[in-house]
Structure 1
Amino acid sequence: MPAPNPACASNKTEPSMLADSIDALLPQTQCRKCGFNGCLPYAEAIARGEADIDRCPPGGDAGIAKLAELLGIAAKPLNPAYGIERPRLLAIIDEDACIGCTKCLPPCPTDAILGASKHMHTIIADLCTGCELCIAPCPVACIAMVPAPNLTWTETDADRARLRHLAKQQRLTKLEAEKAERLQRQKQLLSKAKSAKNQD
């Protein structure tokens, strides 16, 4: 457990508002290198004093400096335990080697991979955050990370990634709710069928 951030205890901003302000400074790559399930959970942990500001490799030293200024604390170097700062990367798929297993689709935080079961997949370059989350699930190692043509990750890119990630989360939540509702209906039908059978 990291040491609490002393700035958060003295900051009079509501925790949720502070988390939003912190999140606005994060790169929105949703790479999870910080140890949290995306940029917003990391921002919320910082706001609660449960995580330090030095855990975001994509944001690098510049990002840490912005967080330090927001929180009124001293900047510090990126903690190497969470990775190193490097130029922006982009995922590419060897389309000849792709077997269409779809295992890379769920972890992509911004739906930047286009593909369907048993069909070749491809990366939508403009939407890829370089998070690398698609690498490990690929059973044929057909995904690689290469330097992005545009090495600068802009605020516009971050805003778009945030919105796409949020949209994906909302879609998945809706699907889970619909699945739970279907299962509940099936249970009710089975229960009614059993009751009817027992009455017979």
Structure 2
Amino acid sequence: MTKTLADLIEDALPQTQCTKCGYPACRPYAEAIAAGEAHINQCPPGGQQGIERLAAITGQRVIPLNPVNGFERPRSVAFIDESLCIGCTLCIQACPVDAILGAAKQMHTILPSQCTGCDLCVAPCPVDCIVMFPVTGDATGWNAWTAEQAEAARARHDFRSARLQREREENDARLAAKAVAKLRDVNAETSNTPAELAEKERKRAIIAAAIERARQKAAKP
């Protein structure tokens, strides 16, 4: 299969999914570059070498990293102080590559080999128990990261995205089924007085509106 320009650009990104580029993940940033809506110098994890790679792919000139998006630094790995962790799961929800293990009200821990250093888990932590430790010495950009690590991170991110989408769809289906059952119960209610009939119609309207919203949501690509 022939790769699109966005595919080639995405392949040149480090797949840290850090959002520092201003987009929710590496793929949307790649698509924005391909569409001429973003510049090639918005990825701090890729560093200057990453900009050179993107310039070669897009035919654009090499420019410095935009400081608005951050600075090129050694790659870091998150560390959780387990003595302070309260098990809130906010870091797990924030991690784009499922590199954090834990459960509600239980201690969490980072999987260092899977952490991309995105630091998205730091800000949500309500007890400040997460810190980022540099692990690559003076090496920055692609000198601190490999194509194999990038591909593994992309696979974990894509798997997580698919799982979350599946969970949303399953939840929507449960809610829709619940609404249909509720409508059936309302229709079965015996209503004799005008007030009872009006209340029954009110309930029908509310449930019908909820079902229609669910239908429209499910129809969206």
Superposed counterparts of 1:1-200, under 5 Å: 17-148=4-135, 152-198=144-190
* C-alpha separation in 1, matches of 2:91 and 2:185: 41
DSSP-derived class of the 2:168 partner = helix
* C-alpha separation in 2, matches of 1:178 and 1:109: 21
Instruction: Report deviation, 1:72.
Output: 1.1
* C-alpha separation in 2, matches of 1:149 and 1:68: 25
Instruction: Give the structure-2-normalised TM-score.
Output: 0.81
Instruction: Report deviation, 1:148.
Output: 1.8
The letter of the residue matching 1:105 is I
The letter of the residue matching 1:136 is A
* C-alpha separation in 2, matches of 1:52 and 1:199: 64
Instruction: Report deviation, 1:104.
Output: 0.5
Moved runs in structure 1, 4+ residues, more than 4 A? none
The answer to which of 138-147 and 190-199 deviates more is 190-199
* C-alpha separation in 1, matches of 2:19 and 2:88: 23
Percent of aligned positions with the same letter in both sequences?
Answer: 51
Verify the 8 A CA contact 2:74 2:136 in the aligned structure 1.
no
Aligned residue for 2:204? none
- Deviation string for 1:44-64 (max 9, x for gaps)? 000111000010000010000
* C-alpha separation in 1, matches of 2:58 and 2:100: 36
Instruction: Give the structure-1-normalised TM-score.
Output: 0.90
RMSD over aligned Cα atoms: 1.5
The letter of the residue matching 2:66 is N
* C-alpha separation in 2, matches of 1:100 and 1:120: 5
Unpaired runs of 5+ residues, structure 1, are: 1-13
* C-alpha separation in 2, matches of 1:46 and 1:106: 28
Unpaired runs of 5+ residues, structure 2, are: 193-221
Instruction: Report deviation, 1:199.
Output: 6.7
The letter of the residue matching 1:144 is V
* C-alpha separation in 1, matches of 2:176 and 2:70: 44
Instruction: Report deviation, 1:198.
Output: 3.7
Verify the 8 A CA contact 2:75 2:134 in the aligned structure 1.
yes
* C-alpha separation in 1, matches of 2:181 and 2:132: 49
